[in-house]
Structure 1
Amino acid sequence: MGRVCSALDTSGGPVRAGGRGGGRSGPPRTARAAPCRAAPSPPRHRSRHDTPAAGLALRLLSAPNHEPHPDPERGIPFRTDTEEILAGYAKTRNLTDIRQLAHAIHPREPITLEYLAVPGNRTVRTVSKLELDPPFLSAYCHLREDQRVFNLSRIQTVMPA
């Protein structure tokens, strides 16, 4: 679409050499048609992918689906002070465990811990009424039906109760 040939006059016929019946005697000759060239294309409209909002959407879609791990040295803070305190004492725990534990402390919700006892055996305890007293966690243990104190560095995993 949009090819323009300069070899056509306004009537649609070929252009005669010398213009319209001018200059030479004899039968009129048709001029060689000028090469067809592409007509200038209309200004291109911006597609949805060229807009700033689309660029932002593409960046958001390519971002990881998790929050960055807290790193106060690089300016990525913990969500709460409790998380930061727990992370300082339970150094072997991952961020998910730290957040579950911190979430259970404030509303004093029950949570299940896998704990490495002093003799070296692992126990699974469901605890509630958690109170943080670094480096210890005081809680009601449902297995022993009594208040117990857990060392934060010995907590192996944290699960919802």
Structure 2
Amino acid sequence: MSSLLPLISEILPMILPSTTEVTRADQLKPIPDNEGRSIRDSAIVGKCDKMCASVLRIPPNSWSPIHHNSEQDAIINVVSGTGTLVVKEGFGGELRHHELQPGDFAFVPAWTEHQARNDSDQDLVWVITQSGPRPVGAILTDWGGQEIKTIE
């Protein structure tokens, strides 16, 4: 019977009807970070077990906290504004700065410490898709620092 479970879980979505979920822009629910400099809006969360999406808004001359997404990989799509994705990479923990503009995509692997920076005079808006039913992770005190808040 246990050998049938993977097969059933693949076939079941094809048999059972499902509904399309739409979240309108005016339905987004803002969640400010711990310092009030960036705002994350849940867009599609808890609708399936494999992915979720949120909108990150960073006002001019602001930044997100340094954080990681725990076990979740993330794909960032820049909607508007220009900004910098700062990422701690490699065994030496080198900080790399990736300049992003509208239409750009970035992949951030699980457990990678990163920060979004907006040094411009316009809002920065990113759509973030993560590999889980809802965003998870942790906000850190600094690069390589202690966790000060868990994102659940």
Q: Which has the higher strand share?
A: 2
TM-score (normalizing by structure 1): 0.25
Structure of larger gyration radius: 1
TM-score (normalizing by structure 2): 0.26
Q: Which has the higher helix share?
A: 1
Higher relative contact order (CA 8 A, sep 6+): 2
